[in-house]
Structure 1
């Protein structure tokens, strides 16, 4: 079996959208942070604006930026960023598909499939479901990792006090998503809560919080709820499991892999009554789950080593990728 490198001292350029408060998404920023911890030098090229034309207009800017700088690997995140990187002549190139680029608009799905098959030397997807949807054998499945030092179990009362939630006796169902995003299916979460039998029970919607605060929310909650129509490999589920907090979820992305037969958790069809029943059963569990043990392979240290192996592979054979 090929030995996975323990470190990577090269220079990496991350190409990604900069529309999240002028930064890449939290998952991408976190991946960069961990890469730096293990010896890599990470730089960012953030693409501003939305829509296809904004991305196409970034092609020349990226080409000029790379002319003035030298990188060992260019790692583009999301399909459109990967297309920009390829059209800009990025070399050697790794592209990570994240979910919306695989399950979103038909033209983007088609573009991703074409670029994966013919133009990207190496493509990473986050789950088996994504790999099947892309329909191209030339992919690597590497889910996002979890910072097991940051996301850990702590006392519920302590977490609620820190968040100034008080020490009320209400059951708290955490829904960590932006309700404005249709794919997250906020209406389903609200409809399910109307059918939950445990009382008093409140739904707490949380989004755009600093990553460092999220362990407090997971630990303050009695259940973490995901009602998405589709996902790649939802970080919130894995982070909640790292905190040993029960999770109730629709079967989005790779959720089945992490929740299957895990006591205190439930995978439900996207139907309000079934989700409400799943929440009630999770609340009946009355305590922590064994989630941390279930996802131990997703420790950031393990995932970063796999990325180092991918970087080494594409650097040694940048034109052919994986067969």
Structure 2
């Protein structure tokens, strides 16, 4: 099966931590023997107009690669522009959170842009042949009038071979962290108000007022290969976001046995339910500090890897492949064969370039 993956988030030398969850998802599909071509729309370099110039590039990629399915791996304007194109193979769109929930905590310009992106996401969801949300609470954000029969809840998976127990002392030595402090890890993107870093810092300050020696570490812009070291060097992960989809860092922390204190956001309550050493707190510095204090008193490491089996990259790749097959079957049943062949190129079209498995062919817009 050939998949054309389209995204505006992907790791680069300038931003190694951006879109790692998408890179890992593509690698897991390749590991199952699917053939994947990646069309990366680098909005940071090309600007927002890159989406509105997408048509010719998309048609060229489809003509050359002959995908069975086009998978748009984020919502917003990009997804709306893809799903508005005519005569495409079946299109699947994955929504991750902010592309459906918006961002209403910055200035007016940012709010308006975010609101427009949400409207585009909802339009893309109606136009797509398949829709994926990474958490159940995002279903209500898809808007009215959507056929829920074409929607699936499939969170991003994690690499359980990379995120596994390591020696805490060794990890702290690598990072130069002292052994006599309580280390709180906070994951954020630079300048992202949705993450509420001021609330996280206030909670840590409250803990310090109780006489604890605490160090607050911001995980931002770190290559994914280094993230397990940061997780194992820490004593607790703190999450204070206003909204989330299915935060990958929470699943990675659980795989590493790291206790978590979080506000009730995204699918975090579902992920940490019943796990001793993880706590939900109100969006209040004092309550967050009290929950951190519970961890500080006993410094536990979690035993919950069995709960993560269904969230492994391999397990998620199986679910994605099954959904692709289902979308293809629905398309085949809804169209006469003559119409299907006129609509898009078949799987092994003569002029389709070969794309062997276990290799991503990266196509950057404008290059």
State if a TM-score over 0.5 links the two structures: yes
Task: Tell me if 1:34 matches 2:28.
Answer: yes
Q: What's the Cα RMSD here? A: 2.1
- Check whether the contact 2:160–2:312 (CA below 8 A) recurs between aligned residues: yes
What is the Cα deviation at residue 19 of structure 1? 6.8
- Check whether the contact 2:169–2:179 (CA below 8 A) recurs between aligned residues: no
Task: Tell me if 1:17 matches 2:13.
Answer: no
Structure 1, unaligned stretches of length 5 or more?
Answer: 1-9
Runs of 4+ in structure 1 over 4 Å off:
none
Q: Show the counterpart of 2:340.
A: none
What is the Cα deviation at residue 52 of structure 1? 5.0
Aligned residues: 310
Deviation string, structure 1 residues 135-159 (Cα, Å, up to 9, x no partner): 4424100001111111011111021
Mark the CA change 1:320 to 1:175 in structure 2 (over 3 Å): closer, same or farther: farther
Q: 2:80 aligns with which of 69, 80, 83?
A: 83
Return the index of the structure with the highest Cα Rg.
2
Superposition map of 1:199-218 within 5 A: 199-218=212-231
What is the Cα deviation at residue 95 of structure 1? 0.7
What is the Cα deviation at residue 318 of structure 1? 2.9
What is the Cα deviation at residue 112 of structure 1? 2.1
Which structure has more RCO (C-alpha within 8 Å, separation ≥ 6)?
Answer: 2
Mark the CA change 1:126 to 1:18 in structure 2 (over 3 Å): closer, same or farther: closer
Q: Show the counterpart of 1:173.
A: 184
What is the Cα deviation at residue 229 of structure 1? 0.9
The separation in 2 between residues aligned to 1:202 and 1:53, in whole angstroms, is 42
Q: Pick which of 277-286 and 181-190 moved more.
A: 277-286
Residue aligned with 1:248, SS: strand
Task: Tell me if 1:228 matches 2:236.
Answer: no
Task: Tell me if 1:193 matches 2:190.
Answer: no
The separation in 2 between residues aligned to 1:175 and 1:111, in whole angstroms, is 31
Q: Pick which of 119-128 and 101-110 moved more.
A: 101-110
Q: Pick which of 228-237 and 264-273 moved more.
A: 264-273
Deviation string, structure 1 residues 94-133 (Cα, Å, up to 9, x no partner): 110111111113332233223323x110000001111122
- Check whether the contact 2:54–2:81 (CA below 8 A) recurs between aligned residues: yes
Q: Show the counterpart of 2:55.
A: 59
The separation in 2 between residues aligned to 1:183 and 1:58, in whole angstroms, is 29
Residue aligned with 2:52, SS: helix
The separation in 2 between residues aligned to 1:246 and 1:155, in whole angstroms, is 15
**TM-score when scaled to structure 1?**
0.89
Residue aligned with 2:33, SS: coil
What is the Cα deviation at residue 60 of structure 1? 2.8
Q: Show the counterpart of 2:153.
A: 141
Q: Show the counterpart of 1:111.
A: 120
Structure 2, unaligned stretches of length 5 or more?
Answer: 103-113, 335-367
Mark the CA change 1:245 to 1:18 in structure 2 (over 3 Å): closer, same or farther: closer
Deviation string, structure 1 residues 217-270 (Cα, Å, up to 9, x no partner): 111100011111111100000100001110111111100101123211111121
The separation in 1 between residues aligned to 2:331 and 2:253, in whole angstroms, is 37
Deviation string, structure 1 residues 194-218 (Cα, Å, up to 9, x no partner): 1013621010001121111111111
Deviation string, structure 1 residues 68-115 (Cα, Å, up to 9, x no partner): 331121110111332222233431211101111111133322332233
